[in-house]
Amino acid sequence: IEPISTTIAVGMAAALTGFLASYPNILYYFHECCRPEWISFNKTGLKTDLDSKLFGQHIASRIILKAVNGFMSNDNPKKPLVLSLHGWTGTGKNFVSKLIAENIYKEGMDSSFVHVFTSTLHFPHPSQNATYKSQLQQWIKGNVTNCERSMFIFDEMDKMHPGLIDSIKPYLDYYDKLDGVSYRKSIFIFLSNAGGESIIQKTLDFWKGGRDREEIELRDLEVSLSLSVFNNNQSGFFHTSLIDKNLVDFFVPFLPLEYQHIVQCAKAEMKARGLEPDPDVADMVARDVVYFPKLERVFSVKGCKTIESKLDYYT
Ligand SMILES: Nc1ncnc2c1ncn2[C@@H]1O[C@H](COP(=O)(O)OP(=O)(O)OP(=O)(O)O)[C@@H](O)[C@H]1O
């Protein structure tokens, strides 16, 4: 005779199996999978986030909204979306990638369809490049086979070996399918500081000319950005044919952040901690930040990067 607990357990297992057989889709609600329940683009959400959470980046904000909107509303894109974000440290490149992920994937950056690679962390030894190349290609292929709406973020792209960049090139191109896999619905985001200095110079010129930074347009930055990124043999991009093959859809400049933006970041951080944003504390934090160039002291050396820890000190 079986103990009563075994009988109950067997009965419950049978009931559960019967239930799952009748409602197979129920599992999709509990476990992330490559379906619209977990992946669907929230257009107004992205706009609201860019408008209210990203400070001082009117050009980036505009390009990203347009690019992601256009791509996600096209059911049959000809190639994956490839964005290359450029700018000084702490200006919001990783932050924007997170906002994009949060408005596409229910799990945001924790989604199993969002993959982040950091050159110095994942590909540290140039001598291992051949291994990295094949691992990276397998990794991308495996992930896109698993879900065509995958997102790949490559941080420190300027420190990535050109050979490694070249190895991902086929996935960014206009192929219908490669080895039976279509990459056309994936998103690739490259982050780098390359071009940061030329963006700073232009922003400083506007500032010195007494012009509003909001007047800066993409075309004001394009020439100097391309000279400093693509014609500079120190930059990983220089040695690859990513650029001349037009595989990058949008180059997105991030402007250096000023005092007013540091204040906004400090207030946002207080809010995120469930505190009432205190303008005096935000001012103290912003005053504590180091600005450059030495003479003018206009731009924050670390952007909004250290605000979190500075706030610990003042609250
Ligand atoms: N423009 C911005 N608007 C709002 N918050 C920002 C902005 N820039 C940076 N931050 C805040 O500072 C933090 C660090 O910024 P982030 O990691 O995005 O910088 P980054 O540009 O990627 O820098 P790096 O080039 O060093 O990787 C973000 O998590 C965010 O909280």
pLDDT tens digits for 243-300? 767 888 999 999 999 999 999 999 999 999 999 999 999 999 999 999 999 988 999 9
The rounded Å distance from CA 142 to ligand 1 centre is 30
State how far the Cα of 81 lies from the Cα of 152, in Å rounded to an integer: 10
Query: Is 0.95 exceeded by the ipTM?
Result: yes
Ligand 1 pocket test: pick from 49, 59, 94 the residue with the most ligand atoms within 8 Å of its Cβ: 94
Q: What percent of the chain has pLDDT over 70?
A: 93
List CB contacts of 275: < 8 A, sequence separation 6 or more.
315
Which parts of the chain fold into alpha helices (H)?
Answer: 4-22, 26-30, 43-53, 58-72, 93-102, 119-122, 129-146, 162-172, 196-208, 218-230, 259-272, 279-287, 307-314
Reported as a single tens digit per residue, the pLDDT across 142-163 is: 999 999 999 999 998 888 888 8
List CB contacts of 208: < 8 A, sequence separation 6 or more.
296
- Domain-wise residue ranges, the chain: 1-31, 43-254, 259-314
92 lines ligand 1 (CB under 6 A): yes
84 lines ligand 1 (CB under 6 A): no
Give CATH for domain 43-254. Answer: 3.40.50.300
State how far the Cα of 141 lies from the Cα of 148, in Å rounded to an integer: 10
State how far the Cα of 67 lies from the Cα of 97, in Å rounded to an integer: 13
Dihedral of alpha carbons 64, 297, 192, 226, sign: positive
pLDDT of 312 > 90? The answer is no
118 lines ligand 1 (CB under 6 A): no
Q: Please state the atom number of ligand 1 nearest to the C-alpha of residue 257.
A: 1
Reported as a single tens digit per residue, the pLDDT across 167-178 is: 898 999 888 888
* Range in 8-22, 134-148, 212-226 with the lowest mean pLDDT: 8-22
State how far the Cα of 110 lies from the Cα of 106, in Å rounded to an integer: 9
CA-closest residue to ligand 1 atom 19: 90
